[in-house]
Each structure stands twice: as C-alpha cells, then as structure tokens.
Amino acid sequence: MAVINHQKPDRMPCFGANCTATYEQMEKVQAFWPKAHEDGEAMARLALASHTILGFDAIRVPFCQTFEARALGANIKPGKLPDNMEGIPGIDHPPAFRIDDTPVFPNDFLFRGHIPELLKAVSIVKKEVGDKVPVIGGIIGPFTLAGSLIDTIPLLKATFKAPDKLRPWLELGEKAGTALAKAIIDAGADIICCEDMTASPELIAPKTYKELELEFQTKQFDAICVPTILHICGKVDPIVKWMAQTRPDILSLDTKTNPKVVREKCGPDIVLLGGVEVATTLFLKGPDEIRKESEQAIADGIQILAPGCAVGPGTPTKNLLTMLEVAKEH
C-alpha cells in the first residue's frame, strides 16, 4: 500500500493483478476448479494460496471474468479443457443479446449468479488476513462486459459502423462493474482491479477507446473509493495516455508494452505493475529467464513486479517464487 501512497516501501511488492491460481496451488490447498469458481469457501482457500504458498503481497479474488456477465443473463460455458483439465469459464456462443435489444440492469444484480459466493470469498479472505495483506477484488471493464453480452464480433463491427448503438451497452457495463466493485469493497476488498481485455488496441481502434470507453471507465473509477488498477492486455502504447486519464492508481501492463514509454506518456504519478510474460516465460521457461525478464522490467520502471496477465494454471510454483525472490532484492 505504501507504493500506492507514493511512499517508499521496505522493498518492491510482488503480486498479480490478474488470476495467479495454478494446479499446484489447488493441490496444496485442496481447492479445485470448477468448485473454486462458484463456491465462496473454496474460492477463498484458493485465493489465499497466492499469499500462503507463493508469498505474494496481495490476494486477488476471483479467477475468471464471468461474474457480471452471468448475472446480466449471458450464457456461460464451463471451463472444460482437453484431458479433463479444468480451465476458467467463458462466455458461450451464440450471445444472449443483440445490439438492438434494450439493455436492462436487474435490481437484484448482486444476488444473481455466483456474485453472492464471490462476496463471501472476499469476506473470508479479509477475515483471514486482516490488515496484513491487501485484498484485490476483480471487476470487468465496460467494453469487455458489453462484448460478453452482445458478442465480440458485433461489438467490433459496431465500433466502426454504429458506435452510438454501443453506448447503452457500455452504460450497462459500467453500472454493473461499479455495483460489483462497491459490494466487493463492502465485503472487505482494499483494491479494485478492472480488467478490460476487449478495449485493447489489438481489438479496437485507439480512437474508439478515446471516444467511447474513456468516458465510462472514468465514471467507474470516480465512483470507486479505494485504490484501483486498470489492466488491458496487449501493446497499449496508443491508448495508454487515455488509460491514465481514467484515473486508476495503478496501470497493470502486459509485457508487450514498454514501461518506459508509459512513464513518458503518463507522467510520474501513476504506479506501474507488470514484468514477466505469462504464456512463454512464466509457463515454459525457468528461474534464470524469469530473473532476467524481471530485472529488465524493473530497470524499465516497473514498481510492482507481477505476471503480465493471468498466469497459465500449469505454471510451476518455482517460477512464480522466482519473481518474489527478485522483488525481495529491490
């Protein structure tokens, strides 16, 4: 928390803004997917593993991106992988809504789907760690949530052909994420992380971010009273200036984005989190390469060492521990 408050911490913090759960952690704490996606107690046990097993400096809940979408009526697909492995649930096809439908925010939103279990998990984790370790609650950004409801392809086409038709969906997305954030804070979370994957320049044009998402994301962060993290995947150079204008406390960066560029474009105040590539380095390589990548990221201006995105569940514990070792040396 010292880093967020612009004080000098005892050492560099290390934690994930996105999911850091792995199969090895599930085994150790005996909390497995899919149960840990939908049952508050199992979710809390697995979330705590990021601190008890990895030693990370914050605990993130939950592990998937379907809570708001499910509560708003999206069709959800279980996280089944080949060889009976468990992954994270996703949005099923065909989409539940069409762009011309009228978006509705249900009054009982917070009581729908698995949201009550998520809130339960946050309060269990908070009770367990008290004020020793910050708890991060995850929400989904307006653009990504709109895509979960009307499907990504119609969303992308509309950015080009009929951007005004997207506004009611972005409004709904903002409202849902903000409502969830407030409930998560009431349950005990210290930080809110907003993941907005679909707002990446790898999917939408940068001007779409500026003209559509900037307004809704700013409104969302203005309504959240605790420190916030904004995570957008991919190389965000063309939009990072506007990301910072939405006023998060921390920007969580994919390794495709150079922290030096972000610092230049966003000024000295914003805290930068990120460091190690998840699909190739953390999952497939070993401690030597992880150490090298971490050191480079720190030299480039990363202030909180973290995986660059959600970690693959098959990632070895020793690789994640290496990141913490490096952070302890700074």
User: What is the closest distance, in whole angstroms, from the C-beta atom of residue 143 to another protein in the complex?
Assistant: 12
Retrieve residue 79's tokens. 């996280």
* 294 in contact with another protein (CB under 8 A): no
Retrieve residue 319's tokens. 């690789």
User: What is the closest distance, in whole angstroms, from the C-beta atom of residue 199 to another protein in the complex?
Assistant: 12
Q: Between 26 and 129, name the residue whose CB sits nearer to another protein.
A: 26
Q: How many residues does the chain have?
A: 330
Among 105, 225, 280, 328, binds another protein (CB under 8 A): 280
Q: Between 2 and 279, name the residue whose CB sits nearer to another protein.
A: 279
* 116 in contact with another protein (CB under 8 A): no
Q: Between 190 and 277, name the residue whose CB sits nearer to another protein.
A: 277
* 2 in contact with another protein (CB under 8 A): no
* 260 in contact with another protein (CB under 8 A): no
User: What is the closest distance, in whole angstroms, from the C-beta atom of residue 255 to another protein in the complex?
Assistant: 11
Q: Between 9 and 206, name the residue whose CB sits nearer to another protein.
A: 206
* 327 in contact with another protein (CB under 8 A): no
Among 98, 264, 314, 318, binds another protein (CB under 8 A): 314
- Scan residues 173-232 and list those touching another protein (CB under 8 A): 201-206, 208
Residue 131, burial from CB neighbour count under 10 angstroms (0-12, 13-18, 19+)? exposed
* 279 in contact with another protein (CB under 8 A): yes
* 75 in contact with another protein (CB under 8 A): no
User: What is the closest distance, in whole angstroms, from the C-beta atom of residue 9 to another protein in the complex?
Assistant: 29
Q: Which residues of this protein are in contact with another protein, per CB under 8 A?
A: 77, 79-83, 85, 87-88, 90-93, 152-153, 156-157, 159-161, 201-206, 208, 233-234, 238, 278-280, 283-284, 309-315
